[in-house]
Amino acid sequence: MVGAPPRAKTPQAVLFACGLNSVRSPMAESLLKQMFPQGLYVKSAGVRKGELDPFAVAVMAELGQDISGHKPQTFEELDDWEGLNFDLIITLSPEAHHKALELTRTVAADVEYWPTPDPTGAEGSREQKLSAYREVCDGLMMRIRRRFARVGAVSE
């Protein structure tokens, strides 16, 4: 793929990170797991611990993906439970990007920044809010397809 960063190896373990681990990173985690069920270990974390967002749960349910059991966790909690054994950290917010760069001083992992809007500020009716979440989900799906296309066949 033209313009893609050259990779010495295909990632085996991917961490998606954002501010609260309540909307963008759990969506991305679920999407990647569903699109590439074999061959990848995928988790998500936040800089701070948030509460799982019901609009994120609703939008993922529209795709047949249930994230209702997701428990938001911080980088520190993930490190305590599993260690940060990831070879790729994809950050979705500026604060998560800074945190990941801090961590990778001592952890051998590539960091990619995918600026992703936070839909939680969307105003209007329930449908207008859901639309903002769908846009974020669609954007993540496109980026994941493009980035991980060489990992294996996408299951639709």
Encoded tokens for 136: 């974020």
Alpha carbons 146 and 155: distance in angstroms, whole number = 14
Helix axes 24-35, 126-148, angle to 10 degrees: 50
d(CA 144, CA 65): 16
- pLDDT (tens digit per residue) in 86-100: 899 999 999 999 999
- Partnered with residue 111 across adjacent β-strands are 89
Q: Residue 4: which pLDDT band, with cuts at 50, 70 and 90? A: very low
Domain boundaries, the chain: 13-148
CATH of range 13-148; options 3.40.50.2000, 1.10.630.10, 3.40.50.2300, 3.40.50.300: 3.40.50.2300
Query: Which is more confidently placed, 55 or 103?
Result: 55
Mean pLDDT of 49-67: 96
Please give the pLDDT value at position 130: 97
CA-based nearest residue to 98, from 47, 31, 28, 135:
47
Prediction pTM value: 0.87
Strands laid side by side in the 88-91 sheet: 41-46, 13-18, 88-91, 110-113
- C-alpha to C-alpha distance for 145 and 140, rounded to whole angstroms: 9
Indicate if the pLDDT at residue 156 is higher than 60. Answer: no
What mean pLDDT comes out for the span 102-131? 92
- Separation between Cα atoms, residue 72 and residue 74, nearest integer Å: 7
pLDDT digits (tens, 9 = 90+) for 38-48: 778 999 999 99
